[in-house]
């Protein structure tokens, strides 16, 4: 309800929304057919989540591996919904995340409609969401990111409907919203940020509601009970994992003893990533120049100059040319050499791409800043409580990134992909000039990198598992076979305590850190040998030593196995190497 007691009018021209929904489903289906994420294989960290599914599937017992720091329970439960019906397998667990991806897109479209975004702009926003490279990659493997986003967006949509008075039962909608926020927390702890955003938004827009016991119980009761029960169980029954304890310690040290230069770096890098997430939309749908005053343009100019200087410092002084966080997205496509399987990988992004992406990310971030200048007008319209909620949710996610800076990876910022795109659409829907041609030019290479790169990683992982299982099937112990991080983790990871082991500096990072007893007579590699390349080291950034120190020694090629790649297009081979 609005302040005068009437129901808020947040409707927009819905003609075209059905078309957007159908096209989105067709695009996801076509992408699925190209990526083809079917088969009994893991890719990256998903082996650990599938392994944690086994006790729940067969014994009804919840257990998280010691290397898993997230809450995870909600993710395992989501996978169980599918494996209990279709059977336990890598394929089914991956399909569960694809289903979450489809639901996420549907809720995202519902949010666009709730905030009265025109259908044409909503279509562009949906395309930017689906084909964001980082987001797309995680939609086809059993990792926690997409399910966490799905539950958080559901909570955001339901909270917004309740706060704006567009739901028939405010109390019932709040209960559902709070339940979804609790489920988001059970997947990843950061999922609970949406409930905190409700509190922050109401402190600004409508404090009276926070004085209502009925409202508080409905809006925060389920999520509070969920967090309390999980926290008790995790700390007293299950016990915190080593990864959780280590990362919590790192964050606490950072919060209590922050480093000014690193805080400044975080406050620059995270907005650059937000800009990259929303890139096609922010530069293809720009606010009109007349909507900005002289002082506002001067402010954007100053921000642009400071941002340009920061990019030069990162690129020339710090040597972090592509991009600025530890990444899944790299100049080699997804993941660096020796990060998930041994062997050299070709540099796929052309020379200079790093500088272009950094500059475009800065321009996109400035476009977001320019759109923020529309806030006073937007927040005076009907439905302002929902808009305040969206704004505080985005700011809260950015703040969460700063607080967790010492342990952050680029995928930890994925929650900002849909919310940043959504906020931009809300801010510019009435003052924007849509340049579909610019949008298409920016989206096309990102879409290609998303689909082709994801396809190729799946092809490599599928083949590596086949080769490793073929060797194990011949009677060789899994402890004598290194077929990549996921294969070794699935077959050899010791669980609670790895022990001293026999790992050496010549081994890949996953052997040195996680599987120290592996002594591989057979190695599966992308190349017959590992050649240290100065150019490769340069673009690998701060993880250079971690990823480029493994050696294959004097192992000889036993057999090669072909697989198809789309980027570059053609046939490639995996090599089975053995000690002489």
Residue 8: per-residue pLDDT: 41
Percent of the chain with pLDDT over 70: 92
Q: Is the pLDDT of residue 545 over 70?
A: no
Q: Is the pLDDT of residue 2 over 50?
A: no
Q: Is the pLDDT of residue 499 over 60?
A: no
Bigger pLDDT: 64 or 395? 395
Strands 522-525 and 432-434: what pairing?
Answer: unpaired
Bigger pLDDT: 126 or 6? 126
Identify the DSSP state of 571: E
Among the residue ranges 29-38, 52-61, 119-128, 445-454, the one predicted with the least confidence is 52-61
Domain ranges of the chain: 17-245+259-452, 453-578
Average pLDDT over residues 404-433: 91
Tokens representing residue 529 in the block = 């040998």
Q: Is the pLDDT of residue 7 over 50?
A: no
Burial of 343 (0-12, 13-18, 19+ CB in 10 A): buried
Do residues 429 and 118 make contact, with C-beta atoms less than 8 angstroms apart? yes
Taking only the tens place, the pLDDT of each residue in 344-372 is: 888 898 878 888 888 999 999 998 988 88
Residue 500: per-residue pLDDT: 59
Tokens representing residue 245 in the block = 């304890």
Residue 316 pLDDT grade (very low, low, confident, very high; cuts 50, 70, 90):
confident
Average pLDDT over residues 239-255: 91
- In angstroms, the Cα distances linking 567 to 32, 255, 530, 532, 570 are 17, 42, 21, 22, 8
Strands (E), 9-129: none
Do residues 421 and 125 make contact, with C-beta atoms less than 8 angstroms apart? yes
Taking only the tens place, the pLDDT of each residue in 95-109 is: 999 999 999 999 999
Among the residue ranges 32-46, 306-320, 327-341, 402-416, the one predicted with the least confidence is 306-320
Bigger pLDDT: 545 or 414? 414
- In angstroms, the Cα distances linking 163 to 54, 109, 171 are 41, 19, 10
Average pLDDT over residues 206-230: 94
Average pLDDT, the chain: 88
Among the residue ranges 440-444, 505-509, 526-530, 564-568, the one predicted with the least confidence is 505-509
Q: Is the pLDDT of residue 1 over 60?
A: no
Average pLDDT over residues 236-259: 92
Q: How far apart are CA 301 and CA 307, in angstroms?
A: 10
Residue 175: per-residue pLDDT: 97
Bigger pLDDT: 568 or 6? 568
| Cis bond upstream, residue 568 (ω within 30) | yes
Residue 312 pLDDT grade (very low, low, confident, very high; cuts 50, 70, 90):
confident
**CB under 8 Å to 479, separation ≥6 — which residues?**
492, 517, 518, 519
Q: How many residues does the chain have?
A: 580
Q: How far apart are CA 387 and CA 205, in angstroms?
A: 10
Residue 394: per-residue pLDDT: 95
- CA nearest neighbour of 413 among 276, 278, 255, 274: 274
pTM summary value: 0.93
Strands (E), 457-550: 481-482, 522-525
Q: Is the pLDDT of residue 437 over 80?
A: yes
């Amino acid at each position: 309800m609005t302040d005068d007691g009437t129901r808020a009018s947040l409707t927009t021209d819905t003609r075209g929304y059905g078309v957007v929904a159908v096209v989105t489903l067709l695009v996801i289906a076509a992408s699925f057919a190209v990526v083809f994420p079917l088969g009994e294989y893991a890719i990256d960290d998903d082996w650990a989540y599938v392994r944690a599914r086994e006790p729940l599937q067969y014994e009804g017992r919840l257990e998280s591996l010691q290397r898993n720091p997230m809450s995870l329970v909600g993710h395992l439960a989501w996978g169980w919904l599918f494996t209990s019906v279709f059977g336990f397998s890598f394929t089914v667990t991956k399909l569960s995340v694809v289903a979450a991806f489809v639901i996420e897109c549907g809720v995202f479209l519902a949010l666009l409609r709730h905030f009265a975004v025109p259908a044409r702009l909503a279509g562009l926003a949906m395309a930017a969401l689906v084909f964001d490279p980082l987001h797309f990659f995680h939609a086809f493997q059993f990792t926690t990111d997409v399910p966490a986003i799905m539950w958080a967006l559901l909570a955001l949509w339901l909270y917004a409907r309740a706060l704006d008075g567009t739901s028939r039962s405010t109390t019932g909608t709040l209960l559902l919203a709070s339940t979804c926020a609790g489920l988001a927390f059970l997947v990843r702890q950061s999922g609970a940020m949406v409930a905190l955003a409700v509190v922050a938004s109401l402190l600004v827009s409508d404090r009276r509601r926070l004085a209502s016991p009925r409202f508080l119980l409905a809006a925060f009761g389920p999520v509070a009970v969920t967090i309390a029960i999980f926290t008790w169980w995790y700390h007293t029954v299950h016990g915190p994992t080593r990864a959780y304890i280590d990362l919590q310690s790192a964050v606490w040290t950072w919060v209590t003893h922050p480093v000014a230069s690193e805080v400044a770096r975080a406050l620059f890098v995270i907005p650059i990533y937000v800009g990259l997430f929303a890139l096609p939309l922010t530069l293809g749908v720009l606010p009109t120049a007349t909507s900005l005053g002289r002082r506002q343009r001067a402010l954007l100019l100053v921000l642009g100059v400071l941002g340009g200087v920061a990019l030069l410092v990162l690129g020339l002084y710090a040597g972090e040319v592509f991009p600025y966080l530890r990444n899944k997205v790299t100049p080699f496509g997804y993941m660096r050499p020796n990060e998930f399987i041994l062997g050299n990988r070709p540099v796929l992004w052309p020379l200079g791409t790093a500088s272009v992406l950094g500059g475009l990310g800065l321009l996109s971030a400035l476009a977001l800043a320019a759109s923020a200048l529309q806030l006073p007008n937007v927040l005076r319209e009907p439905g302002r409580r929902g808009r305040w909620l969206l704004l505080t949710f985005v700011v809260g996610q950015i703040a969460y990134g700063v607080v967790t800076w010492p342990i952050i990876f680029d995928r930890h910022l994925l929650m900002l992909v849909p919310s940043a795109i959504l906020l931009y659409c809300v801010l510019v829907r009435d003052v924007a000039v849509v340049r579909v041609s610019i949008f298409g030019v920016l989206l096309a290479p990102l879409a290609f990198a998303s689909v082709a790169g994801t396809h190729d990683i799946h092809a490599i992982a599928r083949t590596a598992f086949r080769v490793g299982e073929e060797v194990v099937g011949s009677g060789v112990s899994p402890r004598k076979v290194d077929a990549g991080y996921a294969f070794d983790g699935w077959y050899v990871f010791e669980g609670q305590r790895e022990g001293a082991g026999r790992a050496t500096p010549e081994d890949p990072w996953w052997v040195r850190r996680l599987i120290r007893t592996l002594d591989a007579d057979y190695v599966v590699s992308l190349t017959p040998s590992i050649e240290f390349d100065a150019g490769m080291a340069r673009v690998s950034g701060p993880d250079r030593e971690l990823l480029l120190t493994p050696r294959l020694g004097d192992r000889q090629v036993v057999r090669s196995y072909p697989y198809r790649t789309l980027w570059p297009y053609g046939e490639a081979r995996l090599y089975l190497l053995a000690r002489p």
